[in-house]
């Protein structure tokens, strides 16, 4: 008997805590949830919360910018409005602690849908899941993109089920798209996944691929129809047809790729990027050692998301999410083939053996105790980032907390010039008393303005003139920045009124009207 036929996909096995496999599954999801509970805020979280607050308090979705003095009143597509309301509601109800728990729930649910796609030995499946979680963890923060993270997993699951188990795409994918386009501009990822399936399945048909289930021409036509419906329903949002163009407008901002880290190609010298390289190499090795023809849809998904991950580091998370089932599938085949080569008739742990009779009760008790101890350890770890002190410590470590307190107290003259990285934080802490110069809404500020800002930050030719033209009276920037050093040298007209290890504040000697 072929040894691959004696074990079911992990998601199809019955859960019984008396079995080692079931214990492993429980530990796996506790581990993923624990990994995902962290201080939830990054530099963009703050302006998303402010936007959610604005929508709730004004009962309207902003279509023009209310937060900056440089783009005030200009058209703005607030693509994440629905998610912003949700994150702000969580913040009001339970602060950072509740946001952190919901963030972990989103991550864990996403990986549940990944798990449902996996057909492999449970141990290989668990290792692939852990690696996928580590790779994708670089974007885990309380932002609208985390809803995209979940919707990517659900969309990938629906497409996989359609291909391998004749599942339904209607009405689910169009409904998902209506939600998606109202929570985040990353809805275009859904279309990328569908395109990968179309390319892969057409190639499977053309090459006569028989190792995996292959969509028929009628199924492909249905998939194309679903894509067309999804494209049509994109307009069901407050910004209507403009959301069709939004992804292209964002990707087209050259300054993002040139100067903003998450939009740049990954630096493999950074430790947190290296798991991506490991996962990619393992996928290549697993496919190579599997001894069978690879499914062209699997290859299309790996190729597409490898390319996008190399194009911009932020896409590494989607790579980890989409390719985990592929890694597990081919690693399982390669591992099974290796045991066959060694002459074994059964792969160790391939069968989910559930104890019966007298051995069942002791095993159930032992596994329950082990799981309880692991859950207690997880709760201890989870409790740390949920405390107000931990969140305040993280805020002070990465953001100009004391400098913002100085501005609150001393009320230096507006308008302000601020660091890009601190714009969202300044909106949350200072608006409406102060409007910001720039923040993380790159689609609002466009390429030319971002480059103009960078010329000031690097003290390039004409930086003083730009500050004068924009009527800047107060500057909030990093203490070790080039601009701060030039302002200390070019002291005429500017006074350093505050400084700590992180931030420095300058004001004009004679404020401009």
State whether 147 and 236 are in the same domain: yes
State whether 272 and 161 are in the same domain: yes
Query: Which domain covers residue 63, as residue numbers?
Result: 3-341
Total Cβ atoms within 10 A of residue 190? 25
Separation CA 349–CA 72 (nearest Å): 62
Separation CA 86–CA 144 (nearest Å): 9
Angle between helices 401-410 and 423-430 (to 10 degrees): 40
Nearest of 74, 55, 33 to residue 444 by alpha carbon: 74
- Of 304, 324, 341, the last residue of a domain is 341
Confidence at residue 492, expressed as pLDDT on a 0 to 100 scale:
74
State whether 331 and 451 are in the same domain: no
User: Is residue 353 domain-resident?
Assistant: no
β-pair partners for 132 = none
User: Is residue 383 domain-resident?
Assistant: no
State whether 330 and 454 are in the same domain: no
Task: Give the rounded distance of the alpha carbon of 181 from its chain centre.
Answer: 16
Confidence at residue 15, expressed as pLDDT on a 0 to 100 scale:
73
Structure tokens at 49: 């919360």
Separation CA 237–CA 235 (nearest Å): 6
Total domains, the chain: 2
State whether 322 and 406 are in the same domain: no
Does the model's pTM come out above 0.85?
A: yes
Strand order in the sheet with 416-418: 416-418, 474-478, 503-508, 494-499
For 372, the 3-state DSSP assignment is helix
User: Is residue 386 domain-resident?
Assistant: no
User: Is residue 391 domain-resident?
Assistant: no
State whether 420 and 326 are in the same domain: no
Separation CA 41–CA 49 (nearest Å): 10
State whether 16 and 144 are in the same domain: yes
Low-confidence ranges of the chain (pLDDT < 50): 1-8
State whether 333 and 425 are in the same domain: no
Compute the CA torsion angle 295, 296, 302, 304 (nearest 10 deg): -160
Residues found in the chain? 513
Phi, psi of 149, deg, nearest 5: -55, -45
- Of 310, 341, 372, the last residue of a domain is 341
Cis check for the bond before 415: say yes or no (omega within 30 of 0): yes
State whether 59 and 190 are in the same domain: yes
User: Is residue 311 domain-resident?
Assistant: yes
State whether 334 and 417 are in the same domain: no
User: Is residue 450 domain-resident?
Assistant: yes
State whether 164 and 51 are in the same domain: yes
- Of 341, 363, 380, the last residue of a domain is 341
Q: DSSP state, 234?
A: T
Confidence at residue 355, expressed as pLDDT on a 0 to 100 scale:
61
Confidence at residue 349, expressed as pLDDT on a 0 to 100 scale:
60
User: Is residue 452 domain-resident?
Assistant: yes
- Judged by phi (left if over 0) then psi (alpha if -120 to 50, else beta), residue 347 lies in beta
The answer to whether 434 and 412 have CB atoms below 8 angstroms apart is no
The answer to whether 28 and 126 have CB atoms below 8 angstroms apart is yes
State whether 406 and 269 are in the same domain: no
Beta strands, E only, 135-231: none
User: Is residue 371 domain-resident?
Assistant: no
Structure tokens at 288: 């190579």
H runs (alpha helix) in 342-469: 360-386, 388-398, 401-410, 423-430, 442-457, 463-469
């Amino acid at each position: 008997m072929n040894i691959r036929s004696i074990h079911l996909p992990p998601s199809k096995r019955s859960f019984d805590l008396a079995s080692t496999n079931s214990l492993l599954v429980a530990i796996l999801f506790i581990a993923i949830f624990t990994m995902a509970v962290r201080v939830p805020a990054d530099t963009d979280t703050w302006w998303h919360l402010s936007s959610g607050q604005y929508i709730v308090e004004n009962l309207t979705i902003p279509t023009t910018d209310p937060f900056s003095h440089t783009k005030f009143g200009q058209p703005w597509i607030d693509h994440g409005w629905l998610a912003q309301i949700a994150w702000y509601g969580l913040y009001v109800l339970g602060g950072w602690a509740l946001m952190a728990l919901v963030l972990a729930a989103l991550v864990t649910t996403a990986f549940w849908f990944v798990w449902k796609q996996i057909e492999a030995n449970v141990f290989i499946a668990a290792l692939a899941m852990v690696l996928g979680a580590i790779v994708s963890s670089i974007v885990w923060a309380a932002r609208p993109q985390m809803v995209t993270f979940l919707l990517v997993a659900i969309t990938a699951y629906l497409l996989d089920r359609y291909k391998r188990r004749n599942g339904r795409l209607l009405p689910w994918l169009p409904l998902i798209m209506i939600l998606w386009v109202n929570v985040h501009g990353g809805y275009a990822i859904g279309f990328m996944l569908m395109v990968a399936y179309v390319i892969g399945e057409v190639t499977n048909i053309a090459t006569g691929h028989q190792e995996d289930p292959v969509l028929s021409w009628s199924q492909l036509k249905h998939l194309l129809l679903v894509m067309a419906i999804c494209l049509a329903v994109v307009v069901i949002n407050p910004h209507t047809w403009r959301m069709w163009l939004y992804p292209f407008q964002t990707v087209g901002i050259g300054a993002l790729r040139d100067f903003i880290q998450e939009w740049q190609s990954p630096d493999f010298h950074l430790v947190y990027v290296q798991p991506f390289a490991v996962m990619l190499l393992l996928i290549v090795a697993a496919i190579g050692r599997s001894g069978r023809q690879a499914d062209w849809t699997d290859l299309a998904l790996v190729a597409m998301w490898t390319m996008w991950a190399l194009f911009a580091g932020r896409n590494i998370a989607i790579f980890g999410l989409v390719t985990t089932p592929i890694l597990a599938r081919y690693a399982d085949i390669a591992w099974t083939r290796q045991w066959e080569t060694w002459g074994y008739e059964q792969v160790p742990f391939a069968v989910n053996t559930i104890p019966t009779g007298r051995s069942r009760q002791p095993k159930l008790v032992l596994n329950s105790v082990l799981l309880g101890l692991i859950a207690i350890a997880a709760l201890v770890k989870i409790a740390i980032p949920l405390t107000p002190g931990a969140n305040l410590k993280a805020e002070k470590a990465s953001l100009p907390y004391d400098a913002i307190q100085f501005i609150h107290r001393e009320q230096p003259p507006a308008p302000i010039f601020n660091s890009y990285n601190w714009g969202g934080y300044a909106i949350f802490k200072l608006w409406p008393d102060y409007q910001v110069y720039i923040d993380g809404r790159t689609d609002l500020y466009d390429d030319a303005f971002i480059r103009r800002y960078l010329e000031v930050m690097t003290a390039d030719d004409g930086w003083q003139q730009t500050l004068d033209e924009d009527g800047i009276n107060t500057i909030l920037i990093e203490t070790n920045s080039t601009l701060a050093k030039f302002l200390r040298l070019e002291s005429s007209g500017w006074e350093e009124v505050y400084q700590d290890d992180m931030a420095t504040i300058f004001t004009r000697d004679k404020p401009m009207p």
